[in-house]
Structure 1
Amino acid sequence: MGSTVIGNNEELVASLVSKVLTELSNRCDQPSDAGDGLFNTVSEAVEAALEAQKKLLQMSLERRKEIIASIRKAVLANNERLAALAVSETKLGRVEDKIRENILCATKTPGVEDIQPTAISGDCGLTLIEHAPVGVIAALTPITNPTGTLINNSIGMIAAGNAVVFNPHPNAKEISAQTALVIHKAIVDAGGPPGLIGLVRVPTLDTAKELIEHPKINLLVVTGGKPVVSVALRSGKKAIGAGAGNPPVLVDETANIRRAAQCILDGASVNNNIFCICEKEVIAVEEIYETLIKFMVETGKVYLLTPEEAERVTKLVVTPEGKINGSYIGRDVQIILRDAGIHVGEEYRLAIFRAAKDHPLVWKEQMMPVLPVVCVKDFNEGVEFAVKVEQGNRHTAVMHSTHVEHMTRFAKEIQTTIFVKNAPCYAGIGLGGEGHTSFTIAGPTGEGLTSARSFTRERRCTLAESFRII
């Protein structure tokens, strides 16, 4: 799938962002209420959500559907503005890819249709199983996908009959607030209760802790790295956790190599590799290794680093302590290479290099458009190595092959939540692939690609000895 062409009118974007930030600054001086969904304290947000959720349950499912439709429409209407602000504030990703992200979440996040009841009938009568709301949800959202996660979570959680209070990443507070304002207004405009979604105006680690520990929070939904997920899992409350990944892409000798080259470029460069599902390292069998690299370069959007250049880039993006340099996460490849003394044109979206198996970028979730390509002897060695570098995250893996048994074996060995065959990684979340989307991919807690149903509790109603009509 090609990228959307966006005009590079930097002055217009800067003016827009400046205006938004000024409006937000003025809002912070206003008294807090449920009028816009932004709150000064966690307690205010939770109390408003509690009352709003009670009102939502008194409304019909048809009204709930109208609320969801209103959210979808409002997000699409504000899409380009939100995308530009997200990149301006966080310095992560690409505006054209943020636009696609927002469209995906607005259109392919399941709504009320995901919580349809089921019935079981037999000699002993009828049992009805329904998906009931959990109540008020606390959602912690990341800096990497502040708009997508907030849109996706809001639609799914409200469709399930819940209210939600968000604590966004502190370095994405402005774009998160703007996204929440759009969604909150859409809810109220459709006749929904104010306060159904809430957001802490000044999110911090302390407000996150307070929200997690609040006695009126019924469910924790955490999208982020291992540390924050671990905190949620130790809270004593039910928690849904979406953790980190290090997705390998395995290419065997039977693959359509030119197609694989294009797919890897598209997946590894989308939003500058900040999606947790993005291809983080390529593992190619010896027979097609050099051909794959050649075809990637021939796309005209991939820069092949020399060994000396690769060493300079590695020293730049990996700290002496062996950690990823956060200053380069999600940045354009031109910025990363420039700071390593390498100057490339604007047409490039990705840099690749021939990497040894023990290279740090093979083992670290780098989240930037710099991709190591590792050579293995054959498919068997490739599977064994891919399983090792995935490191048990059980998040995402990709394979390019036309050998059904190879794909089947790799899927069984790698045991990831998402397994993509012969497509870019993002096909696994519904972008160019079938199925719904999710920006909370709960591998650690087992829910997988979350949807409205994930944010419910199952209730059963039984009528004995009656109502079977066969």
Structure 2
Amino acid sequence: MVSSTQVSQLKDTSDARAAVASLVARARMAQAEYEHYGQRQVDEVVTAVAWALVQPERNRQLSELAVETTGLGNVEDKITKNRRKTMGLLRDLEQAKSVGVIRELPELGLVEIARPVGVVGAVVPSTNPAATPANKTINALKGRNAIILAPSPKGQAACTLLLEFMHAELDRVGAPRDLVQQLPIPVSKATTYELMNQVDLVVVTGSQNNVRSAYSSGTPAVGVGAGNVPVIIDESAELDDAARKITASKTFDNATSCSSENSLVILDAVYESAIAALERSGGVMLTAAEKQQLEAAMWEDGSLSRHIIARAAPDIARRAGLTRSELQSASFFMVEEQHVGKEYPFSGEKLSPVLAIYRARDFEAAFEQTRCLLDHQGKGHSCGIHTRNEANIRRLGLEMPVCRVIVNQAHAFANGGNFDNGLPFSLSMGCGTWGQNSISDNMNYRHYLNITRIARTIPPSEPTMDDLFGAYLQKHGLADS
């Protein structure tokens, strides 16, 4: 016999399937029309949708709503993030070809043609409820796709308002509104999972549960991994410059970014001087007793407290009952740590202006400490270093299990692309197989394209046995065999 609960669940699943199917059908009709747009028309649509977020009054309205409804971050930094991330993305896309022939390789007889993937389902987090959906929408539209957004429950109000602004701009340029849609409110797990099942491509930023669900949905999926960024400060670093950059990064939007520093691994030779520089820049080192008190407030039943995540340092101090006067005006907190693992929560991602500080006797020890932190959490994502030692940089690139090594930069700004580095502007960081992801670069418009290749004949290039095996056989005395 089927219970009333099971009947209710079946009805919920059926309703979710029908609701999503209606959205997908409308998206397919819009995308079929949009697929015939030329490059100039596509780029105008992309610019229009970007303006929906960047326009100053709308940007402020969205940022205020995001902070009000999620309780995460601060308004002024969200305004900056929305503007910079979107303008940087437009810069990246300005000369990018995504319609028709995008590359010709006559020497190989190949022509590459960009084709849409179809309808994209985009799962977006509450930490960036405007910037991330805008980024995914712009990339999807660049490839002549339609997109359906699945915001988190906390972030859905801001995403809904952003969608309203996007539709106004789509109307302005005469493009179909149904190119950009959102799951019906309230967004549920059932409709999100149905979206994953019914679209042509799923792109996921946010919880690892959502990433795993996307991978197991049976639909091609691009997901990203968890962050837990460790940054080394070695004996050659410009300490005041490093401290300023770390402070700017760690305090930006109250550390909502998965790319903000979570641990500093400081070489013994400069440890005291580096801590002094960080203190001059606004950091305060907690005592052992204060560290214990903060830990009790930050984690509830092993999970980060929603009352602490993405709050300003003085607010965290008040909520944790930390009364020392210096803490009431601190930009961020530092806690000395020696160990790594689940029993030592400061060794993981904190999503707040709190830094774990590790002391290493030399670069070899710092390297191993960094690897240990990443093995615990954040493997594949990124690490950083402040240094003038090229050998140390190169070793991190050759041996550390990360997809990005950020050198002498504010990590949260640099990791997702910046105007002074060459990484693509993105809010979604692929972590490669280390992070159980299918991509190892910053998610960008090329991940929203199918590529058709026309192949023609070229003069044959067929090697002989001697070309391929001669040196090997000669070296191992097998030349006459």
* Shorter-normalised TM range: 0.7 to 0.9
1:427 maps to: 414
Kindly indicate whether residue 88 of structure 2 is the aligned counterpart of residue 108 of structure 1: yes
Kindly indicate whether residue 58 of structure 2 is the aligned counterpart of residue 81 of structure 1: no
| One-letter code aligned to 1:398 | G
| One-letter code aligned to 1:330 | A
With 347-356 and 223-232 compared, the bigger mean Cα shift is at: 347-356
Q: Give the C-alpha shift of residue 325 in structure 1.
A: 2.2
- Return the alpha-carbon distance in structure 2 between the equivalents of residues 184 and 81 of structure 1: 16
2:291 maps to: 310
| Secondary structure of 1:195 counterpart | helix
| Secondary structure of 2:178 counterpart | coil
Does the CA-based 8 Å contact 1:105-1:151 persist in structure 2? no
Q: Give the C-alpha shift of residue 259 in structure 1.
A: 1.0
Q: Give the C-alpha shift of residue 256 in structure 1.
A: 0.6
Does the CA-based 8 Å contact 1:251-1:284 persist in structure 2? yes
Deviation track 1:352-387 (CA, whole Å, cap 9, x = no partner) reads: 122222472443211111111111111101001101
1:140 maps to: 123
Does the CA-based 8 Å contact 1:112-1:160 persist in structure 2? no
| Secondary structure of 2:96 counterpart | helix
1:354 maps to: 336
Q: Give the C-alpha shift of residue 115 in structure 1.
A: 3.6
With 198-207 and 342-351 compared, the bigger mean Cα shift is at: 342-351
Which of 352, 369, 376 is the matching residue for 1:385?
A: 369
| Secondary structure of 2:333 counterpart | strand
2:386 maps to: 400
- Return the alpha-carbon distance in structure 1 between the equivalents of residues 205 and 370 of structure 2: 25
Normalised TM-score (structure 2)? 0.83
| Secondary structure of 2:455 counterpart | strand
| Secondary structure of 1:264 counterpart | helix
Q: Give the C-alpha shift of residue 49 in structure 1.
A: 1.0
5 Å-filtered alignment, 1:166-315, equals 166-202=149-185, 203-214=187-198, 217-299=199-281, 301-315=282-296
Q: Give the C-alpha shift of residue 304 in structure 1.
A: 2.4
Give the unaligned 5+ runs of structure 2.
1-17, 432-436, 460-481
| One-letter code aligned to 1:292 | A
User: Cα gap change, 1:56/1:347 in structure 2, threshold over 3 Å: closer, same or farther?
Assistant: farther
1:367 maps to: 351
Kindly indicate whether residue 455 of structure 2 is the aligned counterpart of residue 455 of structure 1: no
1:34 maps to: none
User: Cα gap change, 1:115/1:238 in structure 2, threshold over 3 Å: closer, same or farther?
Assistant: farther
| One-letter code aligned to 1:439 | L
Does the CA-based 8 Å contact 2:403-2:440 persist in structure 1? no
| One-letter code aligned to 1:52 | A
1:437 maps to: 425
| One-letter code aligned to 2:402 | T
2:305 maps to: 325
1:49 maps to: 27
User: Cα gap change, 1:162/1:246 in structure 2, threshold over 3 Å: closer, same or farther?
Assistant: same
Kindly indicate whether residue 396 of structure 2 is the aligned counterpart of residue 410 of structure 1: yes
Deviation track 1:361-418 (CA, whole Å, cap 9, x = no partner) reads: 4432111111111111111010011011112620011111110001111222223222
User: Cα gap change, 1:361/1:267 in structure 2, threshold over 3 Å: closer, same or farther?
Assistant: farther
| One-letter code aligned to 1:162 | N
Normalised TM-score (structure 1)? 0.85
User: Cα gap change, 1:306/1:356 in structure 2, threshold over 3 Å: closer, same or farther?
Assistant: same
With 162-171 and 42-51 compared, the bigger mean Cα shift is at: 42-51
| Secondary structure of 1:170 counterpart | coil
- Return the alpha-carbon distance in structure 2 between the equivalents of residues 439 and 120 of structure 1: 32
Larger radius of gyration: 2
| One-letter code aligned to 2:252 | V
| Secondary structure of 1:460 counterpart | strand
1:92 maps to: 72
Does the CA-based 8 Å contact 2:379-2:401 persist in structure 1? no
Does the CA-based 8 Å contact 1:45-1:198 persist in structure 2? yes
| Secondary structure of 1:255 counterpart | coil
| One-letter code aligned to 1:119 | E
| Secondary structure of 2:227 counterpart | coil
CA RMSD of aligned residues (A): 2.0
- Return the alpha-carbon distance in structure 2 between the equivalents of residues 432 and 376 of structure 1: 33
Q: Give the C-alpha shift of residue 456 in structure 1.
A: 0.8
Does the CA-based 8 Å contact 1:218-1:238 persist in structure 2? yes
Q: Give the C-alpha shift of residue 80 in structure 1.
A: 1.2
Does the CA-based 8 Å contact 1:163-1:197 persist in structure 2? yes
- Return the alpha-carbon distance in structure 1 between the equivalents of residues 337 and 19 of structure 2: 49
Give the share of equivalent positions with the same residue, in percent.
24
Does the CA-based 8 Å contact 1:268-1:350 persist in structure 2? yes
> How many residue pairs get matched?
421
| One-letter code aligned to 1:118 | R
Does the CA-based 8 Å contact 1:447-1:454 persist in structure 2? no
| One-letter code aligned to 1:88 | E
- Return the alpha-carbon distance in structure 2 between the equivalents of residues 92 and 100 of structure 1: 15
- Return the alpha-carbon distance in structure 1 between the equivalents of residues 188 and 446 of structure 2: 29
Q: Give the C-alpha shift of residue 174 in structure 1.
A: 0.3
- Return the alpha-carbon distance in structure 2 between the equivalents of residues 357 and 258 of structure 1: 27
Does the CA-based 8 Å contact 2:125-2:205 persist in structure 1? yes
| Secondary structure of 1:372 counterpart | strand
| One-letter code aligned to 2:201 | L
User: Cα gap change, 1:356/1:432 in structure 2, threshold over 3 Å: closer, same or farther?
Assistant: farther
- Return the alpha-carbon distance in structure 1 between the equivalents of residues 448 and 205 of structure 2: 14
- Return the alpha-carbon distance in structure 2 between the equivalents of residues 347 and 111 of structure 1: 41
- Return the alpha-carbon distance in structure 2 between the equivalents of residues 221 and 323 of structure 1: 25
- Return the alpha-carbon distance in structure 1 between the equivalents of residues 180 and 226 of structure 2: 26
With 218-227 and 334-343 compared, the bigger mean Cα shift is at: 334-343
- Return the alpha-carbon distance in structure 1 between the equivalents of residues 419 and 77 of structure 2: 14
Task: Considering Cα pairs closer than 8 Å and 6+ residues apart, tell me whether 1 or 2 has the greater RCO.
Answer: 1
- Return the alpha-carbon distance in structure 2 between the equivalents of residues 128 and 393 of structure 1: 37
2:105 maps to: 120
Q: Give the C-alpha shift of residue 346 in structure 1.
A: 6.8
| Secondary structure of 1:329 counterpart | coil
| Secondary structure of 1:442 counterpart | coil
- Return the alpha-carbon distance in structure 2 between the equivalents of residues 346 and 118 of structure 1: 57
